Amino acid sequence: MTNSLMSALPLVAIVGRPNVGKSTLFNRLIRRRKAIVQRESGTTRDRNYETIQVDNQSIRIVDTGGFQFAKSNTMEFMVDQEVEKAIAEADEILFVVDGASGITHTDERFADILRKINRPVRVVVNKLDDKRGPLQLGEFYHLGFDTVLGISAAHGHGIDELLTDMCKSLPEQHELIEEDPYLFNLSIIGEPNVGKSTYLNALLEKDRVIVSEIPGTTRDLVEESFEYEGKKIRLVDTAGLRSEKKMKSATEFFSFTRTKEALKKADVIVLLFDATLGLKRDSKNILKKILEERKALILVGNKWDLSSQREMARYKNDLVEANGFLKHFPIFFTSGLKAKNILQPIEESFKIFEYYNQLFSTKELNDFLEMLKKKKPPQGGKLKYLVQTHRRPLRFNLFVKGKQRVPRDYWGFLENQFMSHFKVRGVGLKMNLVEEKTKEK
């Protein structure tokens, strides 16, 4: 189900104990702030992938959480497992250590593990932020690897030399590969603990992200390629969204910011909510943000296997009755844990993306407008003509004579009539009323 083109690229894993600057290095290599960077230990949890270009090569980089030799059944142990997965699939390892604090017992234990793998390992001594840096490299050869490189990820020192050296041991047959474009971006969004990561893992048929009952487990955005019936889309798992007043740390705030960015960049959004609880306040606030952005939207009531509710059809009807605007949006019920009905929202996403990307002819728009004027004209003002100005999302300009006299509730009526007439489903649209200019004689 994943992108075979991407898996063909050489993969370099960035690993090390917590707080040595792995995510700072990752961001430096990909030339943007994708990974969240904080002094708080354990900020990174899931594997974070990105593709970079070095000379004529395409290389995948994976950032990982700090390895801690943690006890089982803890969050730290699950992070360790993610690191081990990254090491197992990598062609080369960047073992990041802290040049300011020197070698620690955890570094030595981790080096013992890395020496047993049959892949090139480069020791990257980070935080060498002054001119004395190169003199500090000697002790790190004691970790038992031939290549030791000094850098400052924060300031960019030594990065070019690192990239040049890194490419020496990568497979030579990999040349610059242009990635196939995704048809669209689909973001999985919802409040904490509604099962977003479980749902993503079920779709991918593998444990791609850490799943825990602890709220806020997912922090960075997790992007994966997904192919369905020969068509490829980008899936994005996000951190749980909730009221800013409930945030307890800077890390949570930055996760919140990343999720808002994913919302803005998405074409289609799957809004997951807990079917056992219904649409609660935080979910409704998220829904409001999505509607304001006029994104294509699918609602998914997850954890249906745990719900004591009535049959799905009645539950859905009750949901729409309580929130009338939802009648134009598809609603599904799934169990990510049991992998039940998980493909239904994906199938629907391709259909509603077509609406989201649709271009209407001027004739069909104005035939609709003529029908509407006969059926129910506004009590004030005169509707003149309708044109489409944008798609992804859908936006239209309705030219009116006497705009100020058109009742405000007529705008909503107009949008509802448009959705019904053109059988548009799952997308928000924006009708801008524009005063028709009087022609000069």
Please say if the pLDDT value at position 175 is more than 70: no
- Pairing assessment for the beta strands 429-435 and 92-98 based on DSSP bridges: unpaired
Dist CA 198 CA 266 (whole Å): 20
Residue 143's pLDDT band (cuts 50, 70, 90): very high
Q: Is the pLDDT of residue 216 over 50?
A: no
Q: How far apart are CA 138 and CA 140, in angstroms?
A: 5
Q: Which residues of 80-105 are buried (b: 16+ CB within 10 A; e: fewer)?
A: bebbebbbeebbbbbbbbbbeeebee
pLDDT at 2: 42
CB atoms within 10 A of CB 337: 17
Burial of 272 (0-12, 13-18, 19+ CB in 10 A): buried
pLDDT for residue 35 is more than 60: no
Reading the block at residue 263, the tokens are: 């919302």
Integer angstrom CA distances of residue 22 from 25, 86, 96, 107: 5, 14, 7, 14
Out of 101-105, 148-152, 254-258, 263-267, pick the least confident.
254-258
- pLDDT band with cut points at 50, 70 and 90 for residue 212: very low
Q: Output the pLDDT for position 3.
A: 47
What pLDDT sits at residue 246? 56
Dihedral of CA atoms 323, 325, 328, 332 in degrees, nearest 10, equals -30
- Cα separation, 44 vs 23, in Å, equals 8
What integer pLDDT is reported at residue 243 of this predicted model? 58
Lowest mean pLDDT among 17-21, 34-38, 387-391: 34-38
CA 189 to chain centre: 8
Q: Is 369 helix (H, G, I), strand (E, B) or coil?
A: helix
Residue 89 binned pLDDT confidence (cut-offs 50, 70, 90): confident
| pLDDT value for 307 | 74
- Between the CA atoms of 201, 204, 207 and 209, what dihedral angle is there, to the nearest 10 degrees? -60
Distance CA 217, CA 215 (A): 6
**pTM of structure:** 0.64
In this prediction, residues 312-325 reach a mean pLDDT of 84
In the chain the domains, ranked by start, together with CATH numbers, are 4-167 (3.40.50.300), 185-356 (3.40.50.300), 362-435 (3.30.300.20)
Dihedrals phi, psi of 14, to nearest 5 degrees: -100, 115
Across residues 346-370, what is the average pLDDT?
94
Most confident among 150-154, 224-228, 365-369 (mean pLDDT): 365-369
Higher-confidence position of 74 and 398: 398
* 204/240: higher pLDDT: 204
Is the model's pLDDT at 67 over the cut of 70? yes
> Which of 209-223, 229-243, 414-428 is the least confident region?
209-223
Mean pLDDT in residue range 366-377: 92
What is the reported pLDDT for 312?
81
Checking if the pLDDT of 347 tops 70, the result is yes
Question: How many C-beta atoms lie closer than 10 Å to residue 351's C-beta?
Answer: 14
Residue 122 has pLDDT above 90, yes or no: yes
pLDDT at 247 over 70: no
Q: Which residue has the tokens 């649709």?
A: 358
Residue 44 has what pLDDT? 60
Range with the poorest average pLDDT among 135-139, 162-166, 232-236, 363-367: 135-139
Per-residue pLDDT, averaged over 422-427, amounts to 92
| pLDDT of 42 | 47
- Select from 349, 87, 22, 45 the least CA-distant residue to 197: 45
